[in-house]
Structure 1
Amino acid sequence: MSSTVIRAQAKPVAESIDGEFYRDVISGLRQRQKQLSPKYFYDALGSHYFDQICQLDEYYPYRTELNLLPDVAADLNDYFADRGAEGLNVVEFGAGSLHKIKPLLDGVAAIRRFTAIDISGAHLHNACALLAEHYPSLEIQPIEGDFTKPLELAPSAATPMGFFPGSTIGNLNPTSAIHFLASARKTLGDGSYMVLGVDTKKDEQVLNRAYNDREGVTARFNKNILTRINRELGADFEPDNFDHSAWYNRERGRVEMHLCSRSEQSVRLGKENFQFRIGESIHTENSYKYHPEEFQQLAAEAGWQAEKWWLAEDNLFSVVLLGNQGQVELTP
């Protein structure tokens, strides 16, 4: 049996990504603390840089979680077999290069369909085509779209199980994380589950090294967002006039990533000019870290219940299985 790859678009699509991109950039640069959304890191080159980051010695989340996933898969296989699940539709949010889904596909017998959601369309479809070569009996559905918003999945009798590996949930502040988890519940529907990677609080030196690698790959990844804004929106950033900077903010429990202006400069975007002082930064990313009990409380506010935790050695990283508790109303 050959693999089926269903070409699909996210629904509903309210506007083009370019229009939303422009508005988000303009809005972010108008803030007192200038900021850009990390979801715009992931054009084709940004996705390539992130793949390189995942291979760095300093970047522990990728390899630690990858080493944990075979155990997660074995336990999930038993968990769903005990519940008589006839099939799972795994839905990966922000799918990227699809490396981490493979341990689940190898170890969980109930998986019948894989739905991959990502904002970078070309990268997504290439990754799905490669995955299909290795799993010819798997039905694969790529959806190009913003995974932070509710999306319409193709009809399936299989039980939906979200998959959100890495520390991507940490890129959202706690309020936004709650709303994403609630949105994911809406996408997945009743009786669904979700498997998430959650980075843990740990020694600050380990955290700071992970986001300031010696080879400068993270710096190139960070600056690439300016190159993308120039290319797609017609701005005139000089990326080399900005320095990458990242540190752990202990009070807020997060690593912050910034681009710091090396000089007084002006940047044009559309009809607007944005002034930068020496040392003034654009805040490009947060990566929140959680103790398990902290994240368990956060997930509960979005209507999820923690069913099972997996912790790596020395509590370096964690994975959690969430179950859908039912209807929960959130204030806007």
Structure 2
Amino acid sequence: MTAEPLEVYLEERDLERGLRDDVRAGLSAEQKWLPPKWFYDARGSELFEEITRLPEYYPTRAERAVLAERAPDIAALTEAKTLIELGSGSSEKTRLLLDAFTRRGGLGTFVPLDVSVSALRGSTAQIAADYPGLRVRGIVGDFTRQLDRLPTGGRRLVVFLGGTIGNLLPAERAEFLTAMRAALEVGDWLLLGTDLVKDPSVIVPAYDDAAGVTAEFNRNVLQVINRELGADFDPGAFDHVALWDPEHEWIEMRLRATRPMRVRVLGMTVDFAAGEDLRTEVSAKFHREGIAAELAAAGFVTAEFWTDPDGLFGVTLARAR
């Protein structure tokens, strides 16, 4: 079966407008910031794939270990007819679920949602070829804005992997989970991957690897802004910084100016002092009890919680109530 034509709810002009709005707001703030979604142009996506294979970067391996062991349980417990993946990218880990559902039978439709047309076009075509009995409906959209576009009907399982929910600030997480619940019917399922709180000596190197790949990935956001908005950042004049915040229990990635500089973008003049930080990512880490509480506040009940053998990463299966 071939993949269906992509359903596009996010146009290039929407992405450009979003980038402009975020850059204008973030660079004019007293403490400068940019959201992490702008890392992922073609080069950024390549770099992130490289990061997931680094020895220091445990989240991908740990989450994969959970899915490899528990995918048959997930298929049996949910008996889903439609599997929806948010921020799907290549859907590589999701194949463990697709394999389990295929062996069990009953899954009719796979719906990956991502902002990247090119990534979706490639992944949907490959999945349709590899799972010939499966209907594949790719949706081009932003999971923080287009949840109302998810297909309805049948028993649904929404999959949100990679610890990506940790990139949202607490208020944003609450808003997202509430919107997620509103998009589901009672009895639908959510499978959520979350990185867990652990010794910072394990966490920090995952965001500051010895080979410098994460540093290049971090600075790539400046290349994106230069290319898309005609800015004149000098990416080489910023150091990559990864800091553990014990109060909020999250890692922060920052770009630190190595010298005073003046950047022009969107008609603004943005001054950086030597040593000034631009925050580019927050990646929250979680406790089991905290995940369950946030889900419960949004209208979900936790059915199962699994970790890898080392207890590094958690996968929660929750049901809409």
Give the TM-score of the pair, scaled to structure 1: 0.91
Structure 2 counterpart of 1:101: 94
**What is the aligned partner in structure 2 of residue 4 from structure 1?**
3
- Segment of structure 1 superposing worse, 259-268 or 44-53: 44-53
2:19 to 18, 21, 30: 21
The letter of the residue matching 2:283 is S
Q: Partner of 1:89 in structure 2? A: 82
> 1:14, CA displacement in angstroms?
12
Residue 88 of structure 1 and its aligned partner are, at CA, apart by 2.0
State the alpha-carbon separation in 1 of the partners of residues 191 and 307 from structure 2.
Answer: 13
Aligned to 1:279: 275
Q: Distance in 2 between matches of 1:17 and 1:189?
A: 30
Corresponding position of 1:62: 60
Q: Does 1:261 align with 2:260?
A: no
CA contact (8 A) 1:263 1:279 kept: yes
Give the counterpart letter for 2:232 in structure 1: D
Q: Indicate whether 1:48 and 2:33 are aligned.
A: no
CA root-mean-square deviation = 1.7
- 1:219-272 CA distances to partner (integer Å, 9 max, x unpaired)? 111111110111111111111111111021111100110011111001100210
Contact 1:44 1:120 in 2 (8 A): no
Map of 1:305-324 to 2, 5 A cutoff?
305-324=301-320
Q: Cα distance, 1:131 vs. partner?
A: 2.0
| 1:241-252 correspondence runs (5 A) | 241-252=237-248
The Cα shift of 1:175 comes to 1.4
Whether the 8 Å CA contact 1:70–1:107 is kept in 2: the answer is: no
CA distance in structure 2 between the partners assigned to 1:123 and 1:323 by the alignment: 29
For 1:147, the equivalent position in structure 2 comes to 143
> What is the Cα deviation at residue 154 of structure 1?
6.1
Deviation (angstroms), 1:190 = 4.1
CA apart distance, 1:185: 2.2
- Cα pair distance change 1:286/1:116, threshold 3 Å: same
Number of equivalenced pairs: 318
Kept in 1, the 8 Å contact 2:184–2:320? The answer is no
Deviates more, 1:126-135 or 1:316-325: 126-135
| Aligned-partner SS, 1:191 | coil
Q: Which of 218, 224, 231 is matched with 1:228 structurally?
A: 224
- Range that drifts further, 298-307 or 22-31: 298-307
Alpha-carbon distance in 2 for matches of 1:302, 1:279: 40
TM superposition shift of 1:155: 4.5
1:90 CA displacement: 1.2
Residues 148-297 of structure 1 aligned to structure 2 (within 5 Å): 148-153=144-149, 155=151, 157-297=153-293
Equivalence for 2:119 = 123
1:9 offset after TM fit, Å?
1.1
Q: Summarize deviations over 1:44-81 as a string: whole Å, max 9, x none.
A: 2111111111111100000111111022211112213x
Q: What is the alpha-carbon distance in structure 2 between the residues aligned to residue 242 and residue 16 of structure 1?
A: 29
Secondary structure of 2:274's counterpart equals: coil
Structure 1 counterpart SS, 2:286: coil
- What TM-score do the two structures reach when normalised by structure 2? 0.94
Q: Is the CA contact (8 Å cut-off) linking 2:62 and 2:313 kept in structure 1?
A: yes
In 2, the alpha carbon distance for the partners of 1:184 and 1:111 equals 21
> How far 1:15 sits from its partner (Å)?
6.6
Which aligned runs of 4 or more in structure 1 are off by greater than 4 angstroms? Answer: none
